[in-house]
Amino acid sequence: MNGREHHGFILAAAIIPFIGVAVAIVLLWNKLVGWSDMVALVIMYSIAILGISAGYHRLLAHRSFQTNRAIKVFLVWAGTIAGQGPALIWTAHHRRHHRVADKPGDPHSPYLDDEPGWRGALKGLWHSHMGWLFDKDLTSDPIRYCPDLARDKDIRFASNHFVGIVVGGIVFPGFIGLAITQTWQGFLTAVLWGGLVRFFLANHVTYAVNSVGHYFGRRRFDTPDESRNVAWLAIPSFGEAWHNNHHAFPKAAFHGFYWWEVDLTAIFIRGLETVGLAREVVRIPKDRIRARADGLSRVGGGRAAPSAPPKPLAERHKVSTSGGVADVE
Ligand SMILES: [Zn+2]
Ligand SMILES: [Zn+2]
């Protein structure tokens, strides 16, 4: 897939599921929705989100655990179905995000726009959520950021057949609907809910980790970026929203650090490990978590450090209206 095709895909991936959601709402109005559609939605949503969180993110981008070839291929295909880009491109952008999070060079930071006030804040949030995907000049070279993955022929195969796998992931739920209802109407509405509505929901949840997860929420660790833990997003994102935890310990396989930090992906990985299908699962000892949370390992991080990221635009605006200073940086 070349740059132009990728751009065309991103555009289609933004518009078509959106139309699907509109159609689904109209059908909902007319009560043209059955429990088979909800089954298709839950199954396909879980596959896509797990593919992104356990596959693309924790297995490929961070190597937080190892697994056998069959599970790797399943997770890579599941992540591909989500339609957020081929594994190689996704992981290249993501590794780059971690290297320079919220600093120049970060592909999707909400803080890199200079416009003050709420307009700038909205522009930053839009850029980090989806806008960056439409920037034709924004590319992260997979050979530079993930040479290890570029050598893997299973990952190359899924990347080369990206569009076919994504379309397959939209059509497949139709067969769940057909199996349950034995009707073609059941097939079509399951494609709508398990294919397009699922596509829309799962993608916006992932994108929200990049936008909301660097803007609104609590910080346990004084990381040199603006990552946040967003509790309300934890369940829909299958644990990816414990994003401040993740930036503090990027290689950790479990992003929820305490029992109340629900992390469905961690449960999945632990399950794989229990049945012998995951190994070298990276765990962070509790005393390291506590020490870092207490600020004992803050050296070089945090807003007071010289390398601190730009302050949230909302704060800049506060300074500019009260102190008459356009930019506090
Ligand atoms: Zn991040
Ligand atoms: Zn990450």
Token pair for 52: 């992104």
Say how many Å lie between the CA of residue 20 and the centre of ligand 2.
Answer: 30
pLDDT at residue 329 in the model: 25
Say how many Å lie between the CA of residue 28 and the centre of ligand 2.
Answer: 36
Domain boundaries, the chain: 3-323
Q: Cβ distance 156 to 150 under 8 Å? A: yes
Q: Considering every ligand atom shown, identify the ligand nearest to the alpha carbon of residue 251 and give its number.
A: 2
pLDDT at residue 142 in the model: 85
Q: What is the mean pLDDT of each run of 10 residues along the chain (329 residues)?
A: 75 86 81 86 98 98 97 98 94 94 90 79 89 84 88 94 96 96 94 95 95 92 92 97 96 96 98 97 93 64 40 41 29
pLDDT at residue 21 in the model: 86
Say how many Å lie between the CA of residue 31 and the centre of ligand 1.
Answer: 40
Q: Considering every ligand atom shown, identify the ligand nearest to the alpha carbon of residue 211 and give its number.
A: 1
C-alpha span between 176 and 181 (Å, rounded): 9
In angstroms, what is the C-alpha Rg of the chain? 20
Say how many Å lie between the CA of residue 210 and the centre of ligand 1.
Answer: 6
Say how many Å lie between the CA of residue 214 and the centre of ligand 1.
Answer: 6
Q: What is the largest CA-CA distance in the chain?
A: 68
pLDDT at residue 220 in the model: 92
Say how many Å lie between the CA of residue 37 and the centre of ligand 2.
Answer: 32
∠ CA 56-59-61 to the nearest 5 degrees?
Answer: 60
Identity at 55, one-letter amino acid code: G
95 HSE (CA, 13 A, CB side): 21
pLDDT at residue 297 in the model: 52
Tell which residue, 98, 91, 99, 7, has the closest CA to residue 51: 91
Say how many Å lie between the CA of residue 251 and the centre of ligand 2.
Answer: 8
Alpha-carbon distances, residue 41 vs 90, 163, 165 (angstroms): 24, 20, 18
